[in-house]
A = this chain, B = another copy of it.
């Protein structure tokens, strides 16, 4: 009963959600076509997942002809924030520092990616003063 998940979203659900975010609004067929670019999956699988995402409040939909058009129900940034928050709490004991430490130390980041991180932190420094 007490469904405790490290992540409220499964992997396929996340994949589908990303496609809808990228498209703005999309039919099942649209998303299916995109998913097919990276792997095989049945049309009905995508349909089922999208319906589930809607029932969980991540997507909304409206009827258009005999089909449904789905759109994001929450801003992507909000969802991403929540997922990151969850990982930070459960894996890094809520410590952003520990998370960043792991990120910069163990992941092999390209120079560009490091620069990008530096810029973000530098921008932060500005606000501080």
Q: Which chain A residues have a beta carbon within 8 Å of chain B's beta carbons?
A: 4-7, 9-15, 18, 77-78, 80-81, 83-85, 87-88, 90-93, 95-104, 106-107, 109, 113-114, 116-118, 120-121, 124-125, 128
Contact = CB atoms under 8 A, between A and B. Distances in A.
A88 B107 contact: yes
Nearest to A123: B104
14 contacts: A4-B11, A5-B11, A6-B7, A6-B13, A14-B90, A14-B91, A77-B106, A80-B92, A80-B98, A84-B102, A84-B107, A97-B113, A97-B120, A100-B103
B85 A107 contact: yes
A81 B100 CA distance: 10
A100 B100 contact: yes
Q: Is the interface of A mostly helix, strand, loop or mixed?
A: helix
Contact of A97 (B78, B101, B116, B128): B116
Given A7-B6, A10-B4, A107-B96, A91 B102 contact: no
- The 8 A-B pairs at the shortest CB distance, nearest first, are namely A97-B116, A81-B106, A4-B11, A6-B7, A6-B11, A121-B121, A7-B7, A96-B113
A35 to B, nearest CB: 12
